[in-house]
Structure 1
Amino acid sequence: MFAWPGIGRYLIDGVNGRDFPVVQATVLLIAIGFVVGNLITDLLLVYIDPRIRFE
């Protein structure tokens, strides 16, 4: 399992091979993961710290 190449390696291979759909898909996937991670972090922060409220 740990010998499988990851998404970063897939992105580098796509850039080196000029495979634009692969590059677009991996960048989109990374961006979505970043946004979802920030959203989850913000929601957990609101849950943990009662001084923070949605306005």
Structure 2
Amino acid sequence: MACLVSIVLVLLVVFTPLKVLFGLIDLPIELHLIALGLIAVPVLVMELSKAFGLIRHQ
């Protein structure tokens, strides 16, 4: 329940006129794509590490 409340509050601030009160601006699509690429890097590194046997489950 707390997670749902947190998500609703973030969406309320980011996607309504409340964002002006917090000084938020709309980012260009290029920055969103860069962020998505950076999010994927740790996942890819961990999966490759597991695939090559660098990380073993105990």
Question: So what's the TM-score if we normalise by structure 1?
Answer: 0.45
Question: So what's the TM-score if we normalise by structure 2?
Answer: 0.43
| Higher RCO (C-alpha 8 Å, min separation 6) | 1
Larger radius of gyration: 2
